[in-house]
């Protein structure tokens, strides 16, 4: 049953952020809306600037030890946000036993596709070199799609892959063909549906929106590690998750899809207020720890 807090968050977002995004005409203006006033991280984690694979970012830790490494890719439509805006999530993973690296990957329009993928893949491979078999990958929205693209690119190049991927409301179809874009247009409390193609155009700048390294929905999932996908039932990007889950299952990939009621896009950032955010992060951490343990047992 949805929490009472979710009944507060949804209308608040609908009448503030969603309205602003609907009126915005440039990526730079959207950056200000999406990047201002991020939710606070939980207490107990530390944030240290660092570089991994030549990509700047920040390490997020809680305490001296950890149960595994996690690469976290922030969302923001490939043109906004940063590791700082998503500290609520990276700190939550750190407090659940992970040493987290969040890369500050290059953003469009200054750096269009495949710049973000190149940075994320470089950071991922560097982390896998440091801790082979002990790395999970996660991301939200565009960062969730980017995490999938990292897996597809790594597989195509015969590189090491993370042990698993935890994807929060991933944006996987930049061609914007999902029926939920229109079906959930009124129910969605954060994103404005007609802007999805605009955001894709900013990132792609004329390149094919069905390229699997930009839109992982169109990729071959055979041989990918286990996936956890969390998404809200009322999201316009719901079908980006359900179709990926179906394709992964058809390819023989272990996949767990959980659909949550009455929650906004990437509700995980509001874990200071939403009990569902804390529950979703608990599920993701448990999933990643289980996959890492299974990988260590096989090694």
pLDDT in tens, 77-98: 999 999 999 999 999 999 999 9
Q: Which residues are catalytic?
A: 141, 235, 265
CA pair distance 269, 97, nearest whole angstrom = 18
Alpha helices, H only, 16-101: 17-23, 27-35, 87-95
Q: What is the DSSP letter of 124?
A: H
CA distance 166 to 226: 9
Helix (H, G, I), strand (E, B) or coil at 19: helix
Q: In CATH, what number is assigned to the domain containing residue 246?
A: 3.40.50.1820
Determine the average pLDDT of the residues in 52-70.
92
Question: Which pLDDT band holds residue 296 (cuts at 50, 70, 90)?
Answer: low
Phi, psi of 136 (to 5 degrees): -110, 160
Q: What is the pTM of this model?
A: 0.96
- The helix (H) or strand (E) run that includes residue 229 is strand 227-232
β partners of residue 132: none
Total number of domains constituting the chain: 1
Domain that holds residue 236: 4-298
Contact between 180 and 239 under an 8 Å Cβ cutoff? The reply is yes
Nearest to 104 by CA among 127, 72, 129: 72
């Amino acid at each position: 049953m949805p929490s009472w807090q979710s009944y507060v968050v949804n209308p608040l977002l609908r009448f503030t952020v969603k309205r602003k995004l609907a009126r915005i005409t440039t990526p730079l203006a959207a950056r200000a809306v999406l990047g201002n006033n991020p939710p606070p991280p939980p207490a107990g984690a530390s944030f240290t600037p660092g570089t991994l694979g030549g990509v700047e970012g920040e390490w997020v830790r809680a305490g001296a030890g950890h149960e595994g490494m996690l690469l976290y890719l922030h969302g923001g439509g490939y043109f906004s946000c940063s590791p700082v805006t998503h500290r609520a999530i990276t700190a939550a993973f750190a407090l659940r036993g992970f040493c987290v690296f969040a890369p500050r990957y290059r953003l469009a329009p200054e750096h269009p596709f495949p710049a973000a993928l190149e940075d994320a893949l470089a950071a991922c491979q560097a982390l896998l070199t440091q801790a082979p078999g002990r790395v999970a990958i996660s991301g939200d929205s565009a960062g969730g799609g980017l995490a999938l693209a990292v897996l597809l690119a790594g597989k195509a190049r015969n590189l090491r892959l993370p042990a698993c991927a935890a994807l929060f409301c991933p944006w996987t179809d930049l061609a914007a063909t999902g029926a939920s874009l229109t079906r959930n247009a009124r129910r969605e409390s954060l994103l404005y549906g007609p802007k999805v193609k605009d955001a894709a155009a900013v990132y792609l700048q004329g390149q094919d929106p069905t390229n699997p390294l930009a839109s992982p929905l169109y990729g071959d999932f055979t041989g990918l590690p286990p996936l956890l996908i969390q998404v809200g039932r009322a999201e316009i990007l719901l079908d980006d998750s359900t179709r990926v889950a179906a394709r992964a299952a058809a390819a023989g990939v272990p996949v767990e899809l959980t659909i949550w009621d009455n929650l906004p896009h990437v509700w995980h950032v509001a874990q200071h207020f939403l009990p569902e955010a804390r529950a979703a992060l608990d599920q993701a951490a448990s999933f990643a720890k289980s996959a890492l343990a299974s990988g260590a047992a096989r090694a």
